[in-house]
Every structure is written in C-alpha cells, then in structure tokens.
Structure 1
Amino acid sequence: MYVPASFAETDLTALDALIERDNFITLVAVLDGAPHATHLPVLYRRDGERVELRGHFSRANPQSRLSGAALAIVHGPHAYISPGWYPDEAAASRVPTWNYALAHLHGGIELFDEESALAEIVDTLSAHHESQVGGDWRYEHDRDDHRVQLRGIVGFSLTVERIQLNFKLNQNHPVGNRHAVASSLESTGRPYDAEVARLMRERTPV
C-alpha cells in the first residue's frame, strides 16, 4: 500500500481502535497464481509490537488450504471531501478527494483444525458479537450438534510481520482547512462522516 509520509500513522493504539470498531477484515493471499480474498471476522491480540489475528474459514473455501504469506486489510471509516469546503485562497485549485483510515497487516498464515482450538475461536467470536446485539447464543462444547459443526471449518492464525497504517485526514492542508472540513463532515448527519471528522480533530492542532 502506498502511504505518503503525511498520512502514515505509527501509534499502534490507532490499530487497536480500528479493530475494536470493526473486526470484519479482508484477508488476501495468492492461490494458484491469482489473488484470493476472504471477508471474515477475526480475534485480535497485541503485545507491544507483536500482533496476531485468529479466525476460521469454511472448509469449502480454497483459502482454507493455503498457508504462508497473506495480507489482512482492516477497514476504517471513510468520507468524500468536497473542494468547496476549503476556506483558503487556493480553493479554486482544490479538487475532490477522499479521507479514510485503514490498516494493512502483512504476515504469515498457519492453519489448524484441532477441535479445542476451533471451539475457542467460535465461542469467543460469538460471545463478543452476541453481546453487541443483545443476543444470548453461545457455543456449547458438550452439545454434539455444536461440536459437529466444527468439522466444517479450518482455523488460522496470522502472525503480523509488517504493519501499515494509512490515516489520510487532510494533514497536508493548512489547519484552518482541516477544521473547516471536519465541521462540514459533522453537518452531513452521516455516521461515517462523523467518524472521519472525529479522527481529523484528534490529529489537528487547535
């Protein structure tokens, strides 16, 4: 991923926040000479600069037979930026753009199909997301019908070797432009726009 120096983020707490906001990632690997992508939720663990993702594929997914190099894309909020929102005198030369935050995590995948490890992933993922929607479904390992479902999935862990954080938030503009854009985003009433505005304000001097 091309990351201009102005937009490069180095604080890994920004990655923590992206994953906490949305752990549904895109996992890309090369299969038979062509890129193959799977979209799926993951469990995230960070200890200092060591980052690991864990999750599971459907056994029918060709990616469930692939270990080795992979790219995980963590998606953050994004928003269209109108050139009419810039108050500076150079506004006539401004063009539309897009502000966004995302991460690319490069590393190696290892696959596993041990029942206990698969059960832990299913239980942890479901508990997390059920709590967010007010549900009460839980994986129950003593139920045969739950355990048999594990035969249809393959687990993976991705040990991250390189992290790229791209937070493109008008950092290459004067401070006045950045505040004006954030205010315009806040006025649209759209949730993603408000999220981008918040990120901009966090990174813009008062």
Structure 2
Amino acid sequence: MYTPRAFAIDDLAALDRLIDADPFVTLVTTADGVPGVSHLPVLYRRDGDRIRLSGHWARPNPQARHGGRALAIVHGPHAYVSPGVYPDKESAARVPTWNYAVAHLGGTLRTFDDEAALGALVAALSNAHEARIGRDWTFEPERDDHRRQLRGIIGFHLEVDRAEIKFKLGQNHPVANIAAVAADLDARPEPRERAVAALMREHALPAATDPTQGD
C-alpha cells in the first residue's frame, strides 16, 4: 500500500479502534496466480505486537482451499473533501480529495474444520455481534442441529506479521485547512463522515504539515 510518511500510523491502539468499529474485512489470497477475495466478519485478537484474525468461509468457497500468504484489508471511515472549504483554496489552487482510514494486515493463513474449534469460533463470533445489537442468539453445542451446520463451513486463522495503517486525514495541509474540513464533515449527516472528522482532530491537527506528501 502506498503510504506517504505523513499518513503512516504506527500505533496499534489505532488499529484496535479501527477494527472494533468495523470488524468486517476483505480477505485476499492467491492460488496459481489467481486472486481470491472474500468479505468476512472476523474476531480480532492482539497481544502486544502479535495479531490474529479468525473467521470462516462457506465450505464451497474456493478461497477455503487456499493457504499461505494472505492479506486482510480493514476498512475505516472515509469522506469526500471539497476544496471549497479550504481557507487557501484560491491561493493554493486546491483540488478535491478523499480522506480515509484503512489498514492492511498481512500474514500466514491456516485453515481448520474440526467440530470443536468451529463451534468455539461460531459461538465467539455470534456472541460478539449479538451483543452489539442487543440480541442473545448463541451457538448451542449440545444441539445436533447446530452441530450439523458446522459441516458447511471451514474456519481460518490469519497470523499477522505485517501491519500497515494509513490514515489520510489532511496531515499535508495547513492547520487552518484541517480544522475547516473537520468542521465541514461534522456538519454532514453521515456518521462515517463525522467519524473522519474525529480522526482528523485526533491524528491530523497535532501533526506537522509536509506539503510534499501526496495521496
């Protein structure tokens, strides 16, 4: 991922918050030179610098037969930025852009299909996401009909050994521009746009500007 110095984030706590807000990732693999892509909810675990993502595919998914190197793309909030809000829009001939937060997590993919491990994964995933919406469905391992459903999936762990975090939030602009864009995004109706504004105040306003950095 092309990441100019001004936009690189090396704080894994920022990754924690990014994936906690949206644990639905894009998983990319290759087999025989052909890319495979799936969009999946995952469990995220981090112990210091050690990161693991866990999830599952439908058994017929061709990616479920892939292994080796893989890339998970974590999608954060994003927003269009109009040059019309910059105080220096005329003097600096500003143009439109897009602010966003994203992470690429590369590592080794390991698959599994034993019943106990799949049951534990499904239980953990459902418990986490049911809690988000105030519901209480759970996987019940003592039920034959629940266990039979496990035959239709294959699980995976992605042991992450490379984390690239990019927050493109206008760090290459003067402070006045960053503040103006954040205020504009705060006034918009979409929660993701207001989330970008919050990230800008946290990460871009304290940062030094570097006009040589691009998108």
- TM-score of the two chains, using structure 2 as the length reference: 0.93
| Distance (Å, rounded) in 1 between the aligned partners of 2:22 and 2:108 | 22
Q: Is the Cα contact below 8 Å between 2:88 and 2:94 reproduced in 1?
A: no
Are 2:59 and 1:59 aligned?
yes
Deviation at 1:88, TM superposition (A): 2.1
Aligned-residue CA RMSD in angstroms? Answer: 1.3
Q: Is the Cα contact below 8 Å between 2:83 and 2:89 reproduced in 1?
A: no
| Distance (Å, rounded) in 1 between the aligned partners of 2:179 and 2:188 | 15
What secondary structure does 2:9 align onto?
coil
Amino acid at match of 1:151: R
Aligned to 2:178: 178
Percent identity, please: 58
- Can you list the C-alpha shifts for 1:106-149, whole angstroms capped at 9, x where unaligned? 11101111111101110010011111112221100000000001
Q: Is the Cα contact below 8 Å between 1:100 and 1:196 reproduced in 2?
A: yes
Amino acid at match of 2:79: A
What secondary structure does 1:205 align onto?
coil
- Can you list the C-alpha shifts for 1:61-114, whole angstroms capped at 9, x where unaligned? 001111101000000000000001110265551110000001000111011111
Deviation at 1:31, TM superposition (A): 2.5
| Distance (Å, rounded) in 1 between the aligned partners of 2:7 and 2:206 | 15
- Count of residue correspondences: 206
Amino acid at match of 1:127: N
| Distance (Å, rounded) in 1 between the aligned partners of 2:114 and 2:89 | 63
Q: Is the Cα contact below 8 Å between 1:83 and 1:91 reproduced in 2?
A: no
- Can you list the C-alpha shifts for 1:9-57, whole angstroms capped at 9, x where unaligned? 0000010001100100000001232111000001111011111111111
Consecutive unaligned residues in structure 2, runs of 5 or more: 208-215
Amino acid at match of 1:110: R
Q: Is the Cα contact below 8 Å between 1:87 and 1:180 reproduced in 2?
A: yes
Amino acid at match of 1:146: H
Consecutive unaligned residues in structure 1, runs of 5 or more: none
Aligned to 2:120: 120
Aligned to 1:201: 201
| Distance (Å, rounded) in 1 between the aligned partners of 2:188 and 2:19 | 25
Q: Is the Cα contact below 8 Å between 1:126 and 1:137 reproduced in 2?
A: yes
Q: Is the Cα contact below 8 Å between 2:70 and 2:108 reproduced in 1?
A: yes
